[in-house]
A and B are shown apart, each in its own frame.
Chain A
Amino acid sequence: MTEFLDTFLDDYFAECDEHLTAVRRTLLALESSVGQPRPDPAVTEELFRAFHSLKGIAGMVEHREIELLAHEMETYLRAVREGDVRLTTAGVDTLIDAARLLEHAIAARRNRQPPVDVESLVLELRQIAPAGDSAPGAVAVAPPTDAGSWQCLFTPSAELIARGVNVDMVRARLRAVGEIVSAAPVVGEGGGIAFRFVFQGEPAAADVEAWRADGMVCSRVEQETVPAAVPAVPADRGASTLSSGHYVRVDLARLDDLMRMIGDLVIRRARLGDAVARVESHVPSSDWRAIQENTSALERQLRELRDGVMRVRLVPVGEIFRRVPFVVRDLARETGKRVAVDISGQTTEIDKFLVERMLDPVLHVVRNAVSHGLETVEERVAAGKAPEGTITLAASAAGEIVTIQIADDGRGIDVDRVIARARVAGLPVPAHVDEAALLELISSPGFSTRDASDRVSGRGFGMAVVRTTVQDLGGSMRLASAPGQGTRFTFELPLTLAITDALLARVGTQTFAVPQAAVREVIELDAASIQALEGGEIIQYRAAPAPVVRLSGVLGIPVPAAQERLHAFVVGAGAGAVVLVVDRIVGQREIVVRSTSDPLIRVDGIAGATDLGDGRAVLILDAVALARHARGGWGAAPRVRETA
């Protein structure tokens, strides 16, 4: 019975999460409706549904404080939806506070902590909602205004822009005939961007007709026909369909268990493969072929199973990005800065585990960007920049790598200040501080540019923790910063963790694994074809010189005798190609990646370790880092510097 209850509660909390996600997603969209006679019904409807469902399910499990809070939020929102109450900034603030408390209250229940006290927010919500219960079905009558409400949908096109018809011009036209109440970008029918203006005024019928040719479709908003239900941009269209019944919620721990089991199976299959190869000479060839066919089929099917489970674990990066506008909004308030958030690529998928781990690092970098990166309105205007700063978040995937970029168009990192502070903190400062060195300094433990008075950013989560988190996930971090132009952090993360395809190579007596995703090509070469150059070595690769890195040298492994024929991995493309030389490539395997995050063994060029089923640990090389090391040390290659 208790087991049933636990399962039921698991489902309950999962459902709560789903509704909280919807609330988070839509609440900020609501803010853009402040002052309008009626907010976007698509937004209020989604919020209303979420509060209503939360109230219902919380009531079922007798979580009274959650039920009560959700009820009051629902009541206020109903009043707004019905037009009984005009949506105000204070109202949205209260809703956001209430949503936070709701999240907190649910978390407390989940962690079996005492129920959270919701009374003060309940009172606050009651104050802003109209007195007395608005009976269901009561028809709300909004006070008629002298001028009529109009909405105008403007769909820009290349042709219109060529003719000089742009958003600013549309704005000017509407201003000439009335007062603009709101303006918001919306996604049009075909997925393109359009702008919806709501304004109070009386445009001449002739104007309305003439504007039509300029992509402006204007219509009077009747009391009953609220503006056409076009979803606002922040309400992610893809995600809103998630509430339909074709989805199953799964606890991540169960997926982890599945993944671990598959990992064990992968190792077991590899051992079986080894054993099969060993008995070849003892078994009649017809029998052996049958065994062999079955083990290869098993390997293939196992790989499909693995891919299938991995796909189940993938979630959109948008789960992280969705939190950012909240954080930015609060910080902008506290610091008095004006900040816009520009988000792209939020549908890029990444392993659920990575999304959870990357949330704090991303939010930390965003907080830093708003607090330190962006200037005040006055500073920006004085510098000839737009008064509003922009935080840009972008995600994209290429192969097995997911890239997340966080950029601001602020003042850039003050290198001298960083150096001065690093010296004070007793950190070693190189003679020439480039962007890589700058990143190294700001993410050193013990470094913090945080002033005692600045309580806004940081919150005990420094860049050192950001770097450690990213490295532990098998990722890497880059920095680009230009004075007066801004700062950009780039995180590169593996699409998934746990299992990957790797090539096994021998260097001296040691075996290493190299993830195949990083390897462009495997080549065999003559030792004689390697030429010395400026203290390094090069080889001709695809009609161009490429630097050669002997792993025995970099890793300090003695090699018994000079071999004539060598194997090598080519990493990087075009002019960035680096040839990593090993003694021999001995095979290809699926490996289970285990982290080597302990500081004692966190070494550049080592990405982790694995076991091949014989109880021995095998190190996984970070081929990309090794190649980067080679390029940095190779005098003839120009250093590639990013600019923001």
Chain B
Amino acid sequence: MSDQRSDQYILFTVAGTTYAVPSSQIAHVDLVDEITRVPNAAPFVDGVVFSRGQIIPAINMRARFGFERAPIDLRTRFLVVNTGGRSVGLLVDACREFLRIDPSAIHPPTDVLGGSGESYVAGIATTSSRMIVILNLDQLLASNDPILAA
């Protein structure tokens, strides 16, 4: 599922940056319900959410990228993603649009970031008005190490 090429993306924002995830990896997008704290979980895991009959871990994407947590408001969304046989929820500042991105508009991360590049960044897409960071969810979820936002 994760390696399926799709041009359709879901866009969301975390701390002012726009990120994209292939829509084929998104199970559903929820308003934020109550999050149950899980003691001794990784620092960027806010806890678990009971969503559609499943217990889903909630990753606070601000915390994941090393930012201060922001209070939950009406724009906050919970993106449930399916990847590598797991279902994980991403807590993001906002999530409003779908976008088709032409593969030719996506640059490999090394071109932009230099050096080895960040493995969780699949690419950087540039449109006329903005820059979008395309995430590699498998890489993002594979490790609990601190990472810095692209």
Contacts and interface: CB of A to CB of B under 8 A. Distances in A.
Residue among B33, B40, B45, B49 with the most chain A CB within 10 A?
B40
Contact of B36 (A595, A598, A608, A617): A617
Interface in B15-51: 33-34, 36-42, 45, 47-50
Contacts, number: 65
B36 A609 contact: yes
Given A598-B57, A600-B45, A609-B48, A619 B36 contact: yes
Contact of A601 (B33, B34, B45, B141): B45
Nearest to A594: B55
A600 B141 CA distance: 9
A80 interface: no
Contact of B48 (A555, A556, A557, A596): A596
Contact of A510 (B36, B50, B54, B59): B36
B35 to A, nearest CB: 8
B88 interface: yes
Contacts of A594: 54-55
Contacts of A606: 38-39
Contacts of A595: 55
A604 to B, nearest CB: 7
B54 A603 contact: no
Interface string B130-143: 00000000000100
B100 interface: no
A185 B54 CA distance: 51
Contact of B41 (A510, A554, A600): A600
Contact of B39 (A557, A615, A617): A557
B86 interface: yes
Nearest to A511: B36
B99 to A, nearest CB: 28
A601 B89 CA distance: 12
Contacts of B38: 596, 601, 603, 606, 619
A611 interface: yes
B67 to A, nearest CB: 19
A555 B144 CA distance: 20
Which of the listed residues B38, B39, B54, B88 has the most CB atoms from chain A within 10 Å of its own CB? B39
Contacts of B55: 594-596, 608-609, 617
A314 interface: no
A604 B38 CA distance: 11
A617 B86 contact: no
Interface size class of chain B, counting residues whose CB lies under 8 Å from the partner chain: 20 to 34
B22 to A, nearest CB: 20
Contacts of A557: 39
Interface in A70-121: none
Interface in B60-102: 86-88
Contacts of B86: 598
Contacts of A604: 40
A596 B50 CA distance: 11
Interface in A126-173: none
B36 A618 contact: yes
A598 B81 CA distance: 13
A611 B40 contact: no
A617 B48 contact: yes
A615 B40 CA distance: 23
Contacts of A618: 36
A615 B37 contact: no
A617 B47 CA distance: 9
Contacts of B41: 600-601, 603
B144 to A, nearest CB: 8
B40 A619 contact: no
A282 interface: no
Interface string A598-636: 101101111011010001111100000000000000000
B100 to A, nearest CB: 31
Contacts of B47: 601, 617
Interface in B98-132: none
Nearest to B42: A600
Nearest to B39: A555
A607 to B, nearest CB: 12
Contacts of A611: 50
A557 B38 CA distance: 10
Contacts of A555: 39-40
A81 B79 CA distance: 66
A556 B47 CA distance: 14
B134 to A, nearest CB: 22
A361 to B, nearest CB: 18
Contacts of A554: 39
A554 B40 CA distance: 9
Contacts of B40: 555-556, 603-605
A543 B38 CA distance: 36
A87 to B, nearest CB: 47
Given A594-B54, A611-B50, A600 B39 contact: no
A53 to B, nearest CB: 38
A603 B34 CA distance: 20
A600 B144 CA distance: 8
From B55, B86, B144, residue with most partner A Cβ within 10 Å: B55
Contact of B50 (A600, A605, A609): A609
Contacts of A619: 36, 38, 48
Nearest to A601: B57
A594 B47 CA distance: 15
B39 A601 contact: no
A609 to B, nearest CB: 4
A605 B39 CA distance: 9
A555 B141 CA distance: 24
Contacts of A556: 39-40
Interface in A561-604: 594-596, 598, 600-601, 603-604
Interface string A476-511: 000000000000000000000000000000000010
A594 B36 CA distance: 14
28 contacts: A510-B37, A555-B39, A555-B40, A557-B39, A596-B48, A596-B55, A598-B57, A598-B87, A600-B42, A600-B88, A600-B141, A601-B41, A601-B45, A601-B47, A603-B38, A604-B40, A606-B38, A608-B55, A609-B36, A609-B50, A609-B55, A615-B33, A617-B36, A617-B48, A617-B50, A618-B36, A619-B38, A619-B48
9 residue pairs, one from A and one from B, having the closest CB atoms: A555-B39, A617-B50, A617-B36, A600-B57, A609-B55, A601-B57, A611-B50, A617-B48, A594-B55
Interface of B: 33-34, 36-42, 45, 47-50, 54-55, 57, 59, 86-88, 141, 144
Given A594-B55, A601-B57, A603-B40, 7 more contacts: A555-B40, A600-B144, A601-B41, A601-B47, A609-B36, A611-B50, A617-B48
Interface of A: 510, 554-557, 594-596, 598, 600-601, 603-606, 608-609, 611, 615-619
